[in-house]
Amino acid sequence: MSGRIFLFGDDIDTDQLAPGQYMRGGIEAIATHCLEAIRPEFAQTVRPGDIVVAGRNFGAGSSREQAAEALRHLQVVGVVALSFAGIFYRNAVNLGLPILIAPSIDDVADGDTATLDPEGGVLRLTTKGTDVALEPMPENLRAIINNGGLVPHLKKRIAAEHKGTAE
Amino acid sequence: MKQTLAQKIIARAAGRDHVTAGEVVTAKVDLAMIHDSGGPRRVAPILKELGVGLWDKDKVFLVSDHFVPGDTEEGASILALTRTWARDTGVRFHDGQGICHVVLPESGQLQPGMFAVGGDSHSPTGGAMGAFMFGIGATEMAGVLATGEIWVKVPETIRIAWTGQLGDGLMAKDIMLALCGRLGMDGGKYQAIEYTGEAIKALSMQERMTLSNMAAELGGQTGLVAPDEVTAAFLRSVGGAVPDLSDLHTDEGAEVLEDHTFDATALAPQVAAPHSPANAMPADEAGKTAVSVAYIGACTGAKYEDLQAAARILKGRKLAAGVELLVAPSSKRDQDRATQEGIMAVFEAAGAKVLPNACGICAGYGTHRLDADVTCISSTARNFKGRMGEASSQVWLGSPLTVAAAAVAGHIVDPREMLS
Ligand code: SF4
C-alpha cells in the first residue's frame, strides 16, 4: 500500500504524540490530538497507509504506550527515523507498529508518496523512484511485529505450550 | 571476559556466562513494579485476554501513587480497581505510602544485582541500588507478569564520572540538570549510564536515587551506581538483606561506549528553563525570573533529604508575597521522619501547603494543576509543555534548595545566597 510521508524533526516526544490532558480519554480521543501541538492538522489529514518519518530521538519522554498506539490507531503503516527513544521503540514493537531506523533521511521530503517494506528494510519513494535503505530489525522482534504485537504473539505461544502439554 | 556491571546483571538473568552489547536476549525478571496508573487497570484486561495469571505474585510490587488521594471520580474508581486487583492476586501492595520509585527501595525488596522492570519511565531509579532496572509499557508489563521474561537489547555503557566534591548548596539534581544541558535528552542513547567518581561515591542513597531517576531525562535505559558500603548500609537500615557485592562493578578495562568526566567542585546550582530539562543554566543566569508557584514534590525531588535541604533555606523565613509553595513529600516514611525532626513544621511556619504523598501535579493530576500563564519552579524531573497543567504554564526545574530559595525571593536565585 502506498501512502504519503509526514516528515518531522528531532525529539518528537510522547507528550506531543499522546498529549497528557487527553490521557484520560480512550485511544480514540488521544489519537485525535496526536501531534497537534506541532502539526495541528495531522490527525485529521493522515490516512491509512501513510508513513511518519522523523529525525533523531523519536518518541522521547514518558513510557506511555499510547504514543505508539495513537499512530497505530490512525493506521500509520510505520515510523522511520534516524533514531528512537528506547522505551518508545519497545512499545512500538510490542504493539505491532513497524519501526525502522534509517541511516539518513536526507532524500525524504514531506508529502512524498512512498511505500514501506518493513521485512525487506526499505522505504520506497515512489514519486522520486529512489529507495532509502533501512536497518534490518532483529528476527525475534520481527516475529512479534508480524504476529501483530506482543499480545497476539504471546497468545500464539501460550496456545502452542498448551498444545504441547496436552499431547 | 571483561564485562560492564550492566552486562553482568543481564548475563546472569539470561542464564549466560556473558553477553555482548547489541545482542537481543531473553532474560528472567527478578522483580516487577507497577503502579495504579499503568498497572492493574491496563494489565488485568491483557492477562484476561491471554487467559493466564501472574507468573509469580511474590515478585510483583504494586504501589498506588498517581491517583492518590482519589479526589476525582475517575481517580477514585481507578484506586478501587487497583485495591480489588491487589486483594484478588495477593501481590505485595503499598497503598498510599508514597511514590513507587521511593517506596520500592524503602521496602528493602530491591537488591543490588537484580534484573528488574517497572511500569513507569523513571524506573531507572532502581539503578541507585545497583539493580538493572528499566521502564516498560503496560502491554510489555502484562507479558512479564504472564511469563516472568522479557527481551532486552544488551546496552553499551556510558560512563559518567564526577571528580572532586560538590560544594555546599549543591545537590544531585544540579548534577543531573547540568548533564541534561551538556549531553541532551538523548545523550543516554537508551544505553546503560553508570555514574562513577569520588563526588558520586560521596553521595547518600537518596541523592544517588535522584541521579538514577533522571537517567530517564538523559535518555538512558538505566542509570547505575555500583553498589558499595553506602548501598549496604542503606539496605541494612531498611531491613533488606545484603547480597555479595564483590563482583557487582564494571571490570577495569571493560569496553564502554563513552567516558565523560566532569568536575563537581566547579558546579554551580542549576535551573532548566521551560520546556525541557536540557535547557539548563546556572541559577544566577536565569534573569531573576519571577515565580508564583514553587513545587517541592515528585519521586526525584521530595525525599527526606530533599525536604531537609529545602528546610535549611525556609527556616525562619517567609514566602515572598504572591508565591504559593506546595510540598508533596515523596513517601509517608520520609514525611514521618521529617515531621519528627521538625522539618514539616518549618514548611508550615513559612506558609507552605502540604499535599498527599503522591505524584500529584508532577503528572498533571489533582486539584493543584497549574493555571494558564503561571510561572512555576519545581523540583520534579521534567518540565515538558503542559505536563503540570495548562499548556501556557511555564515550569522551571531546580534542586529543592533552589526551589525553596525562589519561593522566599519571589524569583529564581542562586540558593547559596541564603545559606549561612
Ligand atoms: S512523581 Fe512524577 S516523575 Fe515520579 S513517578 Fe510520579 S509522575 Fe512520574
Q: pLDDT tens digits for B334-361?
A: 999 999 999 999 999 999 999 999 999 9
Query: Across chain A, where does the E strand assignment appear?
Result: 3-7, 51-54, 78-81, 99-101, 113-117, 122-125, 130-133
Rounded distance between C-alpha atoms, residue A18 and residue A30, angstroms? 6
Rounded distance between C-alpha atoms, residue B264 and residue A126, angstroms? 54
Which residues, 6+ apart, have CB-to-CB distance to B29 below 8 Å?
A: B13, B59, B115, B116, B117, B144, B148, B149, B150
Average pLDDT of B121-136?
Answer: 96
DSSP string, A8-28: --S--BHHHHS-GGGTTS-HH
Q: What is the pLDDT of residue B123?
A: 97
pLDDT above 80: residue B420: no
Residues of A in contact with B120 (CB under 8 A): 63
DSSP string, B35-59: ETTTSHHHHHHHHHHHT---S-GGG
Rounded distance between C-alpha atoms, residue A123 and residue A132, angstroms? 5
Contact (CB, 8 A) for B341 and B307:
no
Cβ-defined contact of A83 to B140 (cutoff 8 Å) = no
Q: What is the pLDDT of residues B157-213, one digit of tens each?
A: 999 999 999 999 999 999 999 999 999 988 998 999 999 999 999 999 999 999 999
Percent of chain B with pLDDT over 70: 100
Rounded distance between C-alpha atoms, residue B386 and residue B326, angstroms? 18
Comparing CA positions, the residue from B341, B340, B129 lying closest to residue B235 is B129
CB distance B343 to ligand 1 below 6 Å: no
Comparing CA positions, the residue from B88, B76, B73 lying closest to residue B36 is B76
Q: Which domains does chain B have, with CATH numbers?
A: 5-263 (3.30.499.10), 270-418 (3.30.499.10)
Rounded distance between C-alpha atoms, residue A27 and residue B413, angstroms? 42
Which residues, 6+ apart, have CB-to-CB distance to A125 below 8 Å?
A: A107, A108, A112, A113, A114, A131, A132
Whole-structure pTM value? 0.89
What is the 8-class DSSP label of residue B125?
Answer: G
- Radius of gyration, CA atoms only, chain B: 20
Q: What is the pLDDT of residue A161?
A: 83
Average pLDDT of A27-36?
Answer: 95
Q: What are the percentages of helix, strand and coil residues in chain A, rounded to 5?
A: 35, 20, 45
Query: How far does CA B341 lie from the centroid of its chain?
Result: 24
pLDDT above 60: residue B373: yes
- In this structure, what C-alpha cell is assigned to residue B239? 531491613
Q: What is the pLDDT of residue A164?
A: 67
Q: Identify the residue whose C-alpha is closest to ligand 1 atom 1.
A: B298
Average pLDDT of B268-281?
Answer: 97
Residues of B in contact with A89 (CB under 8 A): 190
What ipTM is given for this predicted complex? 0.85
CA of A55 to the centre of ligand 1 (A): 28
Cα torsion B204, B205, B211, B214 to 10°: value is -140
Average pLDDT of B363-389?
Answer: 94
Q: What is the pLDDT of residues B78-107, one digit of tens each?
A: 999 999 999 999 999 999 999 999 999 999
Rounded distance between C-alpha atoms, residue A55 and residue A106, angstroms? 10
Q: How confident is the model at residue A17 (pLDDT cuts 50, 70, 90)?
A: very high
DSSP string, B337-378: HHHHTTHHHHHHHHT-EE--SS-GGGGT-STTPBPTT-EEEE
Residues of A in contact with B189 (CB under 8 A): 83
- Inter-helix orientation angle A150-166/B40-50, to 10°: 40
Q: Round the average pLDDT of chain B to a whole number and report it.
A: 96
Select from A68, A87, A151 the Cβ nearest to the Cβ of B135. Answer: A87
Alpha carbon distance, N-terminus to C-terminus of chain B: 51
pLDDT above 60: residue A35: yes
Query: Across B39-135, where does the E strand assignment appear?
Result: 60-64, 92-95, 115-118, 132-135
- Reduced to 3 states (helix: H, G, I; strand: E, B; else coil), residue A155 is helix
Cβ-defined contact of A63 to B221 (cutoff 8 Å) = no
Which residues, 6+ apart, have CB-to-CB distance to B148 below 8 Å?
A: B28, B29, B55, B56, B59
Comparing CA positions, the residue from B318, B266, B312, B303 lying closest to residue B379 is B303
Comparing CA positions, the residue from B64, B36, B13, B28 lying closest to residue B138 is B36
Percent of chain B with pLDDT over 90: 93
CA of B364 to the centre of ligand 1 (A): 10
pLDDT above 50: residue A167: no
* A117 or A85, which is more confident: A117
Cβ-defined contact of B151 to A141 (cutoff 8 Å) = yes
Whether B74 and chain A come into contact, CB under 8 Å, resolves to yes
* B189 or B20, which is more confident: B20
Q: Which domains does chain A have, with CATH numbers?
A: 3-136 (3.20.19.10)
- Inter-helix orientation angle A86-95/A66-73, to 10°: 50
Average pLDDT of B32-36?
Answer: 98
Residue ranges of alpha helices (H) inside B189-290 are 198-201, 205-213, 229-237
CB distance B355 to ligand 1 below 6 Å: no
Cβ-defined contact of B139 to A150 (cutoff 8 Å) = yes
Q: What is the pLDDT of residue A127?
A: 87
Chain B: give the shortest CA distance to residue A57, in Å.
Answer: 6
CB distance B214 to ligand 1 below 6 Å: no
Whether A151 and chain B come into contact, CB under 8 Å, resolves to yes
Chain B: give the shortest CA distance to residue A89, in Å.
Answer: 10
Residues of B in contact with A149 (CB under 8 A): 139
pLDDT above 70: residue B138: yes
Q: Round the average pLDDT of chain A to a whole number and report it.
A: 92
Which residues, 6+ apart, have CB-to-CB distance to B317 below 8 Å?
A: B350, B408, B418
pLDDT above 60: residue A166: no
Q: What is the pLDDT of residues A61-71, one digit of tens each?
A: 777 889 999 99
Q: What is the pLDDT of residue A64?
A: 85
Q: What is the pLDDT of residue A165?
A: 59
Contact (CB, 8 A) for B290 and B375:
yes
